[in-house]
Copies of this chain bind each other. A is one copy, B any other.
């Protein structure tokens, strides 16, 4: 493999350098029908799950075909998308904020051929490459983070559980039978790279063991004061330890105060947390982002822990499926999952979703915990 230069000269990094040009301008990529009608759309409708039409003041119509997919995708896959776009819609497409692919068509006649084409495309293993859906009152794609594919702090994988859960929810990706949008998200650690904290259902990777201390290397590899300062619960103190007869500067962790956030590990690689049995998944529910009817709200912890059951995380998938079915059965039209839980009361939520209420679900983090306690005689037996 020979090194191919881009033209960059490491000796003179500033030579010819172009910086601060930002992204490409949005309108370079607008299909003509959008360029023409931007800001002048009148209304939209769903032709079927996954297929939208937007009608402009001019009478122009824009057809959108939305396909699900793993956001982790290879150039092979991207090239296939490009090929489809070239074939059906002049090369124009986009991605949604939930990592779905949208093909943008300027006439209704182009919809069916595209749908047929998409339906036929499958991976070797058998899964669909471009399942159409993800619109309206259904379950859209799971937004997620890196997991074991790229990050150093995850307590679970991302792409794996997402695939497993989406297989379980697949029918509802292609249907409009939910009372409202159902938005599922995954973050592989407490850093929560996403709006996981405000999702109808959130899958969260969580450690359950305090960091190990690699005393022998700690002082060499880490800035001890930074590690200490990183801890939100002040669980870390400087400590002198003896390893192999040598006195070393290191730290001590008060396990009782640790809530396994991994903040110390982010600062100091000699404090790893990952553990086969310790790590796993927390399920949260009832959050939302839109301001529709009710204000946005945070998701609540509804299952304190499910072990990492690779490769298919069956308990995680089952719990989520169970919640969604209970919701679909019981909620009112337009009612988001969290609004439903609040209307029926969380005591009923646990009953209807057949979930256990454990002490872990009671807030005990700092003062505001108190606001989550029941301070009325209004409750249901």
* Chain B residues within 8 Å of A295, by CB: 375-376, 378
Over the window 311-350 of chain A, the binary record of Cβ atoms lying under 8 Å from chain B Cβ atoms (1 yes, 0 no) is 0000000000000000000000000000000000000000
Over the window 280-323 of chain A, the binary record of Cβ atoms lying under 8 Å from chain B Cβ atoms (1 yes, 0 no) is 00000000000100011000000000000000000000000000
Q: Does any Cβ of B come within 8 Å of A366's Cβ?
A: yes
Over the window 349-376 of chain A, the binary record of Cβ atoms lying under 8 Å from chain B Cβ atoms (1 yes, 0 no) is 0000000000000000011100100011
Give the dominant DSSP class at A's interface: loop
Over the window 142-157 of chain A, the binary record of Cβ atoms lying under 8 Å from chain B Cβ atoms (1 yes, 0 no) is 0000000000000000
Q: Does any Cβ of B come within 8 Å of A276's Cβ?
A: no
Q: By the criterion of a CB under 8 Å from any partner CB, how many residues of chain A are at the interface?
A: 11
Closest to A296 in B: B376
Q: Does any Cβ of B come within 8 Å of A377's Cβ?
A: yes
In chain A, residues 174-232, which have Cβ atoms closer than 8 Å to a Cβ of chain B?
none
A367 to B366, alpha carbons, bound, how many Å? Answer: 9
* Chain B residues within 8 Å of A377, by CB: 291
Nearest Cβ in chain B — how far from A247, in angstroms? Answer: 38
A296 to B378, alpha carbons, bound, how many Å? Answer: 10
A298 to B375, alpha carbons, bound, how many Å? Answer: 11
Nearest Cβ in chain B — how far from A343, in angstroms? Answer: 14
A378 to B297, alpha carbons, bound, how many Å? Answer: 13
Nearest Cβ in chain B — how far from A364, in angstroms? Answer: 15
* Chain B residues within 8 Å of A368, by CB: 367-368, 371
A114 to B367, alpha carbons, bound, how many Å? Answer: 54
* Chain B residues within 8 Å of A375, by CB: 295-296
A378 to B293, alpha carbons, bound, how many Å? Answer: 9
* Chain B residues within 8 Å of A378, by CB: 291, 295
Give 5 A-B contacts (CB < 8 Å), ordered by A residue.
A291-B377, A295-B375, A295-B378, A367-B367, A371-B371
List 9 other contacts, CB 8 Å, given A295-B375, A368-B368: A291-B376, A291-B377, A291-B378, A295-B378, A366-B367, A367-B367, A367-B368, A368-B371, A371-B371
Report the 10 A-B pairs with minimum CB-CB distance, sorted nearest first: A295-B376, A291-B377, A368-B368, A291-B376, A291-B378, A367-B367, A296-B376, A295-B378, A367-B368, A295-B375
